[in-house]
Every structure is written in structure tokens, then in C-alpha cells.
Chains A and B, each alone.
Chain A
């Protein structure tokens, strides 16, 4: 532990990262958690582009009230079904698994995950699952939405539904294996001296997420097994005419899928806790509360599933779920207010990472509030299965998860590649994404309240105005994604050299070179006792020593700020 001695001297700048890894290194089987992490991220981003393309097609179709892009309603069904399945199971969940893979061992000062081989295996389940999922569109596409409700999914959809179910099954196995790996790593591989209460909040979020994955995903696996049996073996578990029960699917599916909402958003909340503190130079407000509210969300998340079924559940059973759904807003609120308390009075640097985190804060609050609205039974009955629900879930999953993913990309890209992303392009990306997103999904609230049902290609002409706004904005949103792609491509070659710790962050992943060597750390890393102790004099000294050891950024990350050394001293007060 004490083997790192702090050299006394000036601050050297880190040399340009040498080309250490070829692109082919990422196409091979590898057990290095950093390579696996990047593999996860790149793979899922490709699927994001695929799912985004499908979304663009959906919005294109909805420009006019009639069928124009697609010939039949079935084609439209397959568009939104595959869009939902891809975005949830192949983009958000694996993307956060990628973040976790890359960051958790680094944040814990470990050399790798607890089970490197299992880690690689979990990743390599994803490409075949993705091929199955996209292949399903060629053989009679799934048409039952991402929820795959029977009898739509058993009696009506094409063979693609079976393939999609198999794909989700594979992805479920993958994420269970990944989650087991995370939990064991977090429990057993913390460095000596790091208690649970000194872990970065991202690690806490991954821990809570992994607990949900291990306990909830098997529900889906069980349900999908029965669904696949219904489709291929002649059983009738979900066929009400032949002794089955469709409500069984709804219950089992939402046993999984409501907790899965938190699988998709908790890691994003972890990203936010790290980004907001670092970029506003303040300790997190209420560390323990933020950490424990993750666990509280994980726990309460298991008790609210039936609020997705208010219209199909017997009335007497609705009330308890209304109450629990309201309760789960409490830990979420704790987080929101803690973040506000964190940035309040901080020295906020409006970097792209920070902007996306603030975007999350504002958009997720809207999603949260509409969530509470939907938890109220009378309102829910009114807007059930309308565009209001579509709007709500996109505010949570895009305004929440995807904004957090973007924020994380801007924040950790320097660590992963050794080069900074272009801030100017990043800001353009943020502005276009933010506006495009807001004007795509906010009008959907009104469309839904006016009564336009979701999952239809043909609608009443009176909704066309709002739908046109949503569609045009969505094209802006879609195109804005390419700013990130361009930014990554440019910055990989010509980005500023990041140095070890461009954001002056105190968590352990920054206490090594960028990108980290194969063993992550040379010797045992020295941990700063408080991962969010910004503003302490010791923190300034710690950051200084990291610069001395690993080199400082070539130029400061934000051009209008003083040199990094000065920034450190400044942040010490």
C-alpha cells in the first residue's frame, strides 16, 4: 500500500498515449475487464443506432395519420416491437454493464473482476442474441411489443417472436452472469481499508442493480420458457381458451420488468452522483442516503409491478400497488434533492458531461412526476395505453438512462482512450439532443391525454399537428447522435491528451494512467479516504500527487480555465 512514494518535483505532462491496442484486440475473446467493457459499450452502441433507426421509421410513419411508409399495421407492429426490445435489452442494459465492467474494478483498485472468464462469456452471449433479435425481423417479425403479451405473442405473431424470446432469454442469462460477477467483485475485492461506505456511488448503484438483476431476471427467464413452450411445444400456459391464463404472463413479466426499470436507471443515477460532484467540486450531499436509497429503490421496486396492470387487475388489488408506487418516489426524491444539494453553491464547470447530467436531472424529474401521476388509479385508467405512457417511459429511459450514458461517455472517455472528447462538439450534441428530445416526447403527453392510443400506425387527423412536431424533433434527436459518433472518431485521433486525471476527480479509477495498463495499477493504488472529499486540503494534495506520478493533461479540459495545477489549489478552499 505504501509502496507508491510521491515524487517531489514539477508536474510532468503525460505523453501522447501510444497505440497500445489494435482494433482487432476488441474483436477477439479477451478476459481483460477493460477490453470487455469497451466491447460491451461499442456493441450496445451499434444496437442503439439500429434501434434509433427503427424509431426514426416509426416517427416517419406517424408524420401523417394514414399508412404511408409501411403497407400494413403488422409491419408497424414489428417496427415498434423490435425498437423496444433492442433499446431495452441490447442498448441500455448492456451499455451500463459495459460501464460497470470498465469502472468497477478500477474504482475498487482491483486488477480485474472476480471471474474474468465468466465476464467474457457473459459478453459473448450478446452478439448472438443481437443477431437472433434482428434476424427475427426477417422470419415473421415479433409484433407483440416489448412486453410480449399473450395472446398476441403466442397466437398471432410470426416465428420471429420465438427468436426474439430466445434472444431475450440469452440476454437475461448474460446479465445474470454479469451481475453475479459484480456482486462478488464488490463484496470481496475491495482494497484493504475501503469499507462499503467509502465506495464510489457508481459502485453502490451497480451493487443495487446487480441485486435486482439476480433476483428479478429469472422471473423473465421462467416466463419466457413458458412462452417459448407455448409457441413451439403445444402447451397452453397462456391460452385462456385452453386452460391457460394470460394474466400469469402479465404478472410474471412485470415481476421482472418493473425492477428492470430500475436496472436501467440506477446505474445512470450512479453516473450522475460521480459526475455532479466532480464537476461542481463539492462533496456529495448525503452520501449514505444516496447509497441506501439505491438499495431502497431495489427493494421497493419488487412491490410495485401491478401498477402496470391496473386495467387488468381486480379492483380490490389495485390500492396497495398505488401506495407502493407512490412510496418508491421517495428514495428517488432523496436522490434528486441530494444532487441538487450537491451542485448548490458548487464551482460548476459546464462541461459536456456536466451538461448531460443536468439534462438528466431536469428530464428525469418530468418522467418521475408523470410516473407518480400514472400511479394514481383514476388517472391511470384514463391514459392507460395512450401516448402519455409512451412519453412517461421515454422521459425516464431516454431523459434518464440515455442522458446518463452520454454523461458517462463524456466523463470517462478520457480514461478509456487517453484523449479528451471535443467540448465544442459535445455542447452542440447536448443542445440538439436536449431540444430534440424534449420536443419529441413532451407533446406526446398532450397527444396521450387527448386520447391517441399507443402502438397504432393510423390515427385521427386531429392529432397530426402535435405528431408532426414530435416527428420533426425526433429527426433532430436522431441526427444529434451522429455528433457523438463524429466526436468520438475525431477525438480518438486528434483529441487533447487527457492525462491521468483531467477532471481532478478523487475516485480510484483516475489514479492510474489513461488508458490504464493491463494490470490497472502499478503497485497498489493509494486510495483517498473520502471518494467525494472535494474541497479538503488533503484532496488538493492527493490530486497534486497523482499529477506528479502519472502526468497532467496537456492542456486544461476547458479552455477558459487556468492551468490544472492552479485549478487544484483553487479547489482546495
Chain B
């Protein structure tokens, strides 16, 4: 299939151009319009050459993610995969939140700190488990724009009066 696609059109049997040529094919001198087109195509080909590598580079530089067995954290090498280290951090943060909510007395800062901890956990998952650190920036934008939007919308809903 791919090969047939590459065949120039006029070489194909049954193609409309060779079926009924109005002018004899012996004509060698190209009309001026065709020359103009040839020039246009050359410049086009040059443009494609320039643009093509850039267009494909970012898409196919395949991220390798974290397949290693060690993690470097604050300059120290930990003999665990990155994913496991993140998992431990998630667990610690959850315990911390639980302790804040259930063990310690509540203060003015309790809720903001808990929200911050939860946000950190979410960010850890998104950043490491969902590979936003190594994947295309467009993916990060795809997540960020609606998140910002719904935060604003929720904020608006919080300030409008309710109950009617």
C-alpha cells in the first residue's frame, strides 16, 4: 500500500490525467505557470526540511521515566526506586494530615496546612506517577488550565449568597 502511494500519479493506469490528455505528451516546454509552481515547490520543500525535524523532535524523544533502582534525594542515594520513595512520602503526608485532624487540637492554621499537605500529595502523584516531569509541557497545560478555572469558579460560588 505504501509503495503504491509513492507512485507518481501519471504513471498509474486509469488515472484521469493520462486517460484523456488534451495536449500531446511530447510537449517539452513547460508553460510559465508551471515554472512558477516549480519554484514555489522548491521553496516549499526547503521550508519543510527546516520545519520537519523540529516538529518531530519533541514528540518522539521517548521519556525513559524511572526504571533505575536508586533515588537521589537531597544529595543522598537511597536504594529504592523513585516510585517507592514517592509512595513513602505520600504515606507520611497522609499520616501527618490524620494527626492534624484527629490528634492535635484545631487551630486557625490547621485547615490551610491540611489543604497544603493534600495539594502536595496531589502534586507528587501528578508530577512523578503521571510523568508530567518528563512528558510534554502541553500535558501539564491541559491539566493546569481547567484546574485554575475550576478553582476560580469554586471561589466565585463561595462568595455568592446561597439559599434562594
Q: Measuring CB to CB, which residues of chain A are less than 8 angstroms from any residue of chain B?
A: 1-12, 14-15, 187-188, 190, 192-193, 195, 214-215, 219, 240, 245-248, 251, 255, 302, 313-314, 317, 513, 519, 522-524, 526-529, 537-538, 540-542, 544-545, 548-551, 568-569
Contact with A along B22-58 (1 / 0, CB 8 A): 1111010011011111111101110110011001100
The reply to whether B23 and A9 contact each other, CB–CB distance below 8 Å, is yes
Q: Compute how far the CA of A139 lies from the CA of B162 in the bound complex, rounded to whole angstroms.
A: 33
Cα A214 to Cα B55 in complex, Å, equals: 25
A526–B44 contact, CB under 8 A?
Answer: yes
Q: A187-B138, A251-B160, A541-B37 are in contact. Are A8 and B30 (CB under 8 A)?
A: yes
Interface positions, chain B 146-164, Cβ under 8 Å from A, are 146, 149, 153, 156-157, 159-164
> With A188-B59, A193-B44 given, can you name 11 additional A-B contacts, CB distance below 8 Å?
A1-B45, A1-B48, A3-B6, A5-B9, A12-B21, A192-B48, A192-B51, A193-B51, A195-B51, A240-B163, A529-B40
Chain A residues near B35: list those with CB within 8 A.
541
Question: Do A523 and B22 have beta carbons less than 8 Å apart?
Answer: no
Q: Which among B16, B47, B159, B162 has the greatest number of chain A C-beta atoms within 10 A?
A: B16
- Would you call B36 and A541 a contact (CB within 8 A)? yes
Q: Is B64 interfacial (CB 8 A cutoff)?
A: no
B residues with a Cβ closer than 8 A to A are 5-10, 16-25, 27, 30-31, 33-41, 43-45, 47-48, 51-52, 55-56, 59, 138, 145-146, 149, 153, 156-157, 159-164
Docked-complex contact A15 and B16, CB < 8 angstroms: yes
Query: Which chain B residues border A12 with CB–CB below 8 Å?
Result: 16-17, 19-22
Contact B51 A5 (CB under 8 A): no
Residues of chain A with a CB closer than 8 A to B19's CB? 12
- Return 6 A-B CB contacts under 8 Å, by A number: A2-B41, A6-B38, A193-B55, A526-B41, A538-B36, A541-B35
User: Which one, A3, A6, A313, A548, contacts B7 given CB within 8 A?
Assistant: A3
Q: Kindly state the separation between the CA atoms of A537 and B47 in the bound complex, as whole angstroms.
A: 18
User: Do A245 and B163 form a contact, CB below 8 Å, given A544-B34, A551-B16?
Assistant: yes
Closest 8 CB pairs of A and B: A10-B22, A541-B37, A193-B48, A538-B40, A541-B36, A10-B23, A9-B23, A192-B52
By a CB distance below 8 angstroms, the chain A residues around B9 are: 4-5, 7, 522-523, 549
- Contact A537/B27 with A9-B22, A192-B55, A527-B44 known, Cβ cut-off 8 Å: no
Q: B17 near A548 (CB under 8 angstroms)?
A: yes
The residue on A at minimum CB distance from B51 is A193
Q: Given A522-B9, A538-B39, answer yes or no on A550-B51 (Cβ-Cβ < 8 Å).
A: no
What residues on A are CB-neighbors of B20 within 8 Å? Answer: 12
For the complex, give the distance between the alpha carbons of A568 and B145 in Å. 46
CB-defined contacts of B34 to chain A, threshold 8 Å:
6, 8, 541, 544-545
What's the nearest-Cβ distance from chain B to residue A573, in Å? 13
- A542-B40 contact given A6-B34, A12-B20, CB 8 Å threshold: yes
Q: Are A523 and B6 in contact (CB under 8 A)?
A: yes
The residue of chain A having its C-beta at the shortest distance from the C-beta of B21 within the complex is: A9
Contacts of A317 in B (CB 8 A): 159-160
Distance between Cα atoms of A246 and B37 in the complex (Å): 63
Assuming A215-B146, A522-B5, A549-B9, is B36 touching A529 (CB within 8 A)?
A: no
